[in-house]
Amino acid sequence: MEIFVDSANVEEIKEIISWGIVDGCTTNPKIASMEKGKGFEENTREIIKLVKGPVSVEVTTNDLQEMLAEGRKYTSWGKNVVVKVPMGISGLKATKIFKEEGIKTNVTACMSVSQAILAAKSGAEYASLFYSRIGDMGYNPTRVVEESVRMFNVSNVKTKIIVGSIRHLMQIIEAGLAGAHILTIPPQFLYQMAKNPKTDESINEFLEAWKGYKNK
């Protein structure tokens, strides 16, 4: 299982990379728009240089020709860029064209097994399932991930399933156990994963014992 950091904040990403746990990064127009003080291209280029693995950069349109123009521009920013395109007919068309041009894609906002299948068939490198938003519709997101993974395995599909839209810590475990190839996780949950009050209690106990021993 791979872990991507779901962020467009350069300092956050830099810090989490230093932990040695980052395999890639995903961004989207919403989180990119939260980064004030510098332009989208400047900020994104910094992320692309920082991250050694794939960086998903999302198009900001549903128009096919505009998607293609944006995606081609993004790929000129770095060899590790993956063009993130929206699920839908225009997105599938763009994915097919990008595949023919040797450009990797991440089809985003997939909410069902059937959408994940279409993303894979169109040539996507990644299909992103939105875990919490699937749950918002009243469906079982764990089952959607499990069935998508099973369908890909049965058909020998090479497309990797990314699970995003994480809203609490247990969803990370659930999605991982469901077989997700990649979890894209917001920084606040990565910090939560590293912390446990019993861990802190244990380490402090050891340090206090050592301090008492060392001072004898």
**pLDDT for position 194:** 96
Determine the 3-state secondary structure of 182 from DSSP: strand
Tens digit of each residue's pLDDT, the chain (216 residues): 899 999 999 999 999 999 999 999 999 999 999 999 889 999 999 999 999 999 999 999 999 999 999 999 999 999 999 999 999 999 999 999 999 999 999 999 999 999 999 999 999 999 999 999 999 999 999 999 999 999 999 999 999 999 999 999 999 999 999 999 999 999 999 999 999 999 999 999 999 999 888 776
The amino acid at 63:
D
**pLDDT for position 34:** 95
Q: Are 71 and 94 in contact (CB under 8 A)?
A: yes
Q: What's the CA gap between 162 and 3, in Å, rounded?
A: 9
**pLDDT for position 215:** 72
Sign of the C-alpha dihedral computed for residues 119, 120, 121 and 123 taken in this order: positive
**pLDDT for position 37:** 87
Half-sphere exposure of 210 (CA within 13 A, CB side): 6
**pLDDT for position 95:** 98
* Sequence-ordered list of residues with C-beta below 8 angstroms from that of 80, at least 6 positions apart, any chain: 48, 51, 52, 53, 54, 55
CATH of the domain at 201: 3.20.20.70
* Domain extent at residue 179: 2-214
Q: How many domains does the chain have?
A: 1
**pLDDT for position 189:** 97
| Closest to 116 in 3D by CA, of 157, 67, 63, 83 | 157
Active site residues: 84
The amino acid at 21:
I
